[in-house]
């Protein structure tokens, strides 16, 4: 039981371990499906990993990560500005708001956001 309202909880180190495991699982799955991702900069890899984590690897309701073939081709081919514009024009961007702005800027400029 982990519901704090009912007296349950997980220690921070367990939460961190679960997060690290989840990130590793998504990164491994993404690199298996899209091996060219390993050649991208760390910033652009982080963008794709965030999207993979958020959208999921498998299509669901027509908006899973794999349902973005044009975007993925643009990234693979180094068309980062076009990929960023593509990101901004999606339902996903409307749903996640400022996060989409941040990620598309990271994709386009290959820079970590300022703190």
- Digit-coded pLDDT (tens) for 19-45: 999 999 989 988 988 899 999 999 999
Task: Report how far apart, in Å, the C-alpha atoms of 85 and of each of 13, 57, 62, 66 are.
Answer: 38, 21, 20, 18
CB of 51 closer than 8 Å to CB of 37: no
Domains of the chain, start order: 4-109 (1.10.530.40)
Among 49, 41, 87, 42, which residue's Cα sits nearest to residue 68? Answer: 87
CA 23, CA 55: separation in Å to the nearest integer? Answer: 13
CB of 106 closer than 8 Å to CB of 112: yes
pTM summary value: 0.83
Handedness of CA 79, 80, 83, 85 (dihedral sign): negative
Helix, coil or strand: residue 115: coil
CA 35, CA 8: separation in Å to the nearest integer? Answer: 41
Residue 56 has what pLDDT?
A: 75
pLDDT tens track, the chain, 115 positions: 677 888 888 888 998 999 999 999 989 988 988 899 999 999 999 999 999 888 876 644 455 677 788 999 999 999 999 999 999 999 899 999 999 999 999 999 999 998 7
């Amino acid at each position: 039981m982990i519901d704090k309202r009912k007296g349950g909880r997980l220690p921070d180190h367990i939460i961190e371990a679960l997060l690290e495991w989840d990130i590793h699982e998504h990164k491994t799955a993404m690199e298996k499906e899209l091996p060219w991702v390993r050649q991208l900069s760390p910033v652009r890899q982080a963008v794709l990993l965030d999207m993979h984590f958020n959208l999921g690897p498998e299509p669901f309701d027509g908006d899973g990560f794999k349902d973005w073939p044009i975007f993925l081709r643009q990234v693979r081919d180094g068309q980062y500005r076009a990929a960023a514009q593509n990101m901004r024009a999606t339902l996903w961007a409307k749903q996640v708001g400022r996060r989409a702005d941040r990620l598309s800027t990271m994709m386009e400029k290959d820079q970590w956001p300022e703190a």
